[in-house]
Every structure is written in structure tokens, then in C-alpha cells.
Amino acid sequence: MPRPTNQKELLELAEINFNKFLEFIDDLPDEIKTGIYKNDELNDRDKTIADVICHLHEWHLMLKNWYTIGMSGKKPAIPAEDVTWQTLPILNHRIYEKYKGTDLKEAVKLFKKSHKTVMALIEKHTDDELFTKKKYQWTGTTSLGAYLISATSSHYDWGLKTIKPLKKLVK
């Protein structure tokens, strides 16, 4: 499906990729789901599937925080107070450290809850509010929809691509 250009497409693709991601995980054998992996098996940061899920969850929370601050008329620190887009690995490593050791069941529970929260944000807005660039001062030169796509469908796709190589470990 191409990049969403309206609310309906955004909700649909976010839900499709969310379900694809979770179904892929669900279909893996338990020893793969709960395994601890070397850097070359997932990425240079995450060691478990739960780490990847918690990463997605935390980005939902950050987006919700930016949204709340931005919609109140203030300028949120995006991506974080002391991090720029160029130094993003620092923030992502902090996320890893924050959730390190979270078990898969808890990670999925957190992820499902925060996904629901982000989907509710999408539902609150019209196509114009979602996809007009510079509509909100806090989103800068882009649109609210671009942030929501990045935190949902695109990020879920990244998550799936990250864990997909584990399928080759299934005997």
C-alpha cells in the first residue's frame, strides 16, 4: 500500500502493519520469540524481540507527549531535550536501556496499549488537519500525519524487517 494521504488510509495501513508485525511474532516458535540475539541478528542495539517491541512502544509515548505539548501551543523538544535527529542513536540506546529485560508478554501488552492511544489521536483529526503541511506550528514544515505515519505504519514495517531474519533460525 502506498504512503497514506488521508485518515482512512493512515488508520488502515497502521492497523495492517501492526497486525502483520504481531502475527509474524506470534507464528515464531517460543525459543525464537524469547531468544537473546547477537548484534548481527537483529540490529546493533536490540537483543530480543521484546526490545524491538518496546522501542516501538516508547516512540508511541514520545509522539503522544510531543502531540500534547504541541497542541497546547508550546514547542516540544523533538526528538528529545538533548538529542537531535543526527544524534538519534543516543535516544534509541536510552530506550533500549529503559526497557532492557522486559519480557515478551509485557512488551506486547505495552505496545498494544500505546498503539491504541496513537490510533485514537489519528481518529480525532480530519484529513486536512492530518495532511496539511505547516498546519500546526509544532510540526514545523511537515504535517501531523507525517509524524503519525512515522510512529505507526512505517515504524511497524521497520520492526518487521528487523525481526524477519530470525525466521531463518527456525528449524
pLDDT of residue 38: 87
Tell me which residue has cell 530506550. Answer: 95
d(CA 37, CA 47): 5
Tell me which residue has cell 525459543. Answer: 31
17, 148 contact by CB (below 8 A): no
pLDDT of residue 169: 87
The pTM score is 0.97
d(CA 4, CA 10): 5
Q: Which residue type, as a one-letter code, is found at position 85?
A: W
Handedness of CA 25, 29, 31, 37 (dihedral sign): negative
Per-residue pLDDT in tens (0 to 9) along the chain, 171 residues: 789 999 999 999 999 999 999 999 999 999 999 999 987 789 999 999 999 999 999 999 999 999 999 999 999 999 999 999 999 999 999 999 999 999 999 999 999 999 999 999 999 999 999 999 999 999 999 999 999 999 999 999 999 999 999 998 887
**Bridge-partner residues for 83, per DSSP?**
80
Kindly list the structural domains of the chain, giving each domain's residue range(s) and its CATH number in brackets, ordered by start.
7-169 (1.20.120.450)
